Structure 1
Amino acid sequence: MIKTTRIPKLYVYQKVIIVFAALIIPVYFVNLLMNMKGQSFIKQEFSDSIQSKAQFYSNQLDDQISFIRNQQLQVVNDSDLQKLNFLSGTLDVFEEIQLVNRVKERLSTIQNSSDYLLNTGVYMKSFGRTISTQSGINKLPNQEYEIIGKLYSNSNKSSIYYQGGRLFFIEAANNSSVIVYLELSVKKLEKTLDQLVGNYGYSGAFITNEDFSYYISSKHDDSIVRKIQDNVSVEQSNKNDDSHILKFGDQSYRITYNHISTLGLSLYSYMNQNELTGSLKTFNIWLLVMSLVSVVIIIVFSFSVKLMIHNPLKELIAAFRTLETDNLDILIRPKNDIEFGYLYRSFDKMIDKLRQSIRQNYEQKMALQHSELKQLQSQIKPHFLYNGFFNIYMMCKAKDYETVATLAQKLGSYYQFVTRSGADEVPFDMEYRHAMDYVEIQRIRFSNRIHVVAGEIPDACKHLMVPRLILQPIIENTFEHAFENERKGGNIHITVTYEKKSLYICVEDDGNKLTDERLQALQKKLANCSIVLEKTGIINVCRRIQLEYGKPSGVFVSRSEHGGLKAEVIIHFNYGGGSDV
């Protein structure tokens, strides 16, 4: 025979600890996930920011150089420059001076158009001179033309030339008889590159050509540049991959690539990933601290719950076990005025009341209450059932099957509730649903002439245990006495509130049949419901509630602000019997 292992029962405080831990552990993991997601998000934001800055810088530089190049090309075809080149030696002195001055002004205009320009000049072979913003007008040979002529004659013909840390744009026309040259400020480029990478220590940016034969940079690490150069073929094969991670030793670098088309060069920048996200490690430390604090909180909470709940509850349970043996000679004296002190005092009061009830009329009251409910159940009028079936018959004749289905379902639910045997108390939400079934039946019966306004009941009172059939008779009274023979219809308002352990149910109508005399007579009957011989409907409900919960509870009527009857069912759970759990 297989021996089964019994799972030990857990105490309340142990269950509370388990629930508390079950609640705090998901919160912890959510925080862990948020921390990981946050780090990933911030890393991505850093990367996007770096790429955005590099893209903005390259676009700005591209625009600047494009503007400068357009100016240079316009100078190559300048009419004054061409005239001076072709007619040099045939012009009189005054006209020649005017042309030279206009050429100088044009060069100065280009020079002042950009901070990236260091010098702007032009060479005219027939004129035998160079004109530049830096050196003015000089006869050949001179040092400036020697540099420009050497670059232009010894290199492959291109737009950009780099020599000895200097960067030039050179354009020629008329078989090289006219050469317009611009010198870019390498220091200015280095300064702006420095601003691009900011104050990060392990970072750098440089501008280079396709074969890395030279590069312009304010700060860089040669080993990283060589590593980038080794991977340049892979990078160039996928031009859309303008940002990627480069592993170098035990470090990771974020590499960005942007092509500067007007220069024919490429902009590379790199930043150490650890330097970008180093501050995020602080969050990992705080996550560890939070983990330790969470463990401490669970431990402290466990001991606190045991001390504050388990031990007093254990004493109270021991008293109840003694009471189960029919021993009423037991009292629990509270040690202090805390919540359990209130329970202890309530326990003592309960023992006293129990003794009195057994001696006096407890059993009589219980029997009377039960008989009152049975009597109310027996008062179900047959014609209500007959009317329901007749309505079903008429709707079937009219082929209104959807309403037939609704009415049949509501009738079934209604009669199941009122005729079944069982406990005298039911959860309030069940009682309320039964009343709403009755309302729906009556609305169909009255052809929807009666408009009922009833909202959802508060969550706090859904599980309250209340006597059965306390709401439906109140609503039935409204239908029968306010709208029974009324053709124009009417309105019923049902509201439910729960506060300070008291349940308030209010049923109001706008009928015009209630006279002051009838209202006063009904108020008098309800005030003396315990001695009134009438045992039907609203009087029955009032008597049963007062038997269960005492005099302050019951049914109270007044004139509604809508003109008809206002009936209030009030149950104070903290006054008498009943359960509010």
Structure 2
Amino acid sequence: MRIFSGRWKNQSIVVKLIVAFVLVILPLYGMSIMITHYSSTQMQSEVEHAHESKLHFYHNHLQFELERMSGLVNEFSFDELMSTLSTRAAIMSRYEVTSSLNDIHQKLSQIMVTSPYISDVVYYVPTLHKRVSAVDGIRNVEDQEWQNLLTTMGNLNGELSYSGSDLFFLKSNPYNMNYEEAPNFILGIRLSSGELKQRLQQLSETGGSDITLSFGDEQQVVISSSDQATSVQKRPSQIESTSESSQITRYHSDDFLHYALYDADHSFTLTSSIAEDVLEAPLEQYKLWLWISTLISIVIIMIFSFSIYRSIHKPLSALVKGFRMTEQGHTLTRIPHSRGDEFGYLYSRFNHMIERLHVLIEENYVARIRTSEAELKHLQSQIQPHFLYNSLFSIKQMAEVEHVELIQEFTDYLGQYFRYMTRDSQSEVSLGAEIEHAMIYASIQQIRFGSRIQLEVESMNAAYNAIAIPRVIIQPIVENAFEYALSKRSRGGLLKLSYHSEQDRLAIRIEDDGDQLTDGALHDLQHSLESTFQESVLRHEHEEITGLINVHQRLQIKFGADYGLAAERSRLGGLCIIINLPWRGE
């Protein structure tokens, strides 16, 4: 027992919480599931049994009555008086015909009283144009009436027929498919829709259901116990094809549950429909237990939630708060604690991580500053000997031709250039000063190359002038264009500088019309600019870092990885370098 207790104390807090949760919730879940399953099964069994019993009872009763009426029609269709009247009428006197019709009327009345479902019994003699009714008596009739009745014979796919809104058992002698040819007689029993409805209402008084009686496979005639009959969906095809009259099927439609019994002999369907909310009524007796279980569950959940809050949520919140403070730049954040569990270990590791992170940030920051200063000094020291030599040689040539004014302009530009390059007091300058320095260098080169080089410089928006950037950023890019593109042109050289601002950045485009740039060289330059700082350092560990890569890295150190240089082919045909700087407008 002591060994188990010791092991349990050393278990992870997550395991403890999972075990506690299972032990608390599992009994409640089991009890709720057991009660719900038992009540639902019991209710469904009782409801199904009750509805099936009602349907079987009424089906047997209705089937008996329909078979008896069908038998009466068949029996009296062979009655001597009814079957021979049309053929003997020609040799009978008027009195004999009238007497025979009265006798037939008496027989029809006897048939009518044999079943409460019979509303009338009719007998047509087309040759005499007579109609005998148990209700209306004897009267003359037009051919159209018996023809309309005859055409409906068997239209419900069985012995029953419907004409208008009435159901009939019809029998004609002789049977003839040509409805325009008059038979000897037509005998029909008309069913009482009112009596059928009343019986359905009596059947549906208990159970809270609606009983619907539909005749025909397409439900041509529907009689319901309710004035607002429940919509009953058409039975599935697999049920329609069955020949078992006693089979009860169950299906859902909208919010109702339907029990249907199909009689194939007389082609009628008896359906009991009950609303689902009525079905849930027997569950009322279980609601008290469910409410008690719910209240117990709520209390347990509240206790468990409070335990979770104390054990997990509260210490996690302290840890999350510490991370958020660190994300905001508070690198001296500490989480005081005296815990001995997993959170105590996390707090200790967090505090140690913050201390180490603070040291690394300071070391990295100092290293970057020193790297940036060293790169700037290195770049400032890169006053190429051939540039100085070429400048002095140009002054010598201008002196030989005594071009004093051009010498004065050239030396003035040269003095401004060297004064800017050798100034160490500032590591950052305004964009306006940097552009001015780059244009001074471009003017020196333009004087050297004369008409071979043209400058196309877009006027800078005054709002861009005050943007602070590292020193010597623009001039190396202009120098690169002159050294690798424009100096090789014998004529037609063009250097273009333009500005474009969008969203949160300013793009400075410096492009030339050089014809020496290959696709491979452009791809290598783009790959170098897209590489990370570490990859670039490794790649250039044993070779001199180019001016473009130097400028790109200094911009990223200053503004972040989203800024720096990008390279593409210029619309002029040469190289286009894009300087991306942060800019948020006025």
- TM-score over 0.5 (shorter chain): no
TM superposition score normalised by structure 1: 0.41
User: If you compute each CA radius of gyration, which structure gives the higher value, 1 or 2?
Assistant: 2
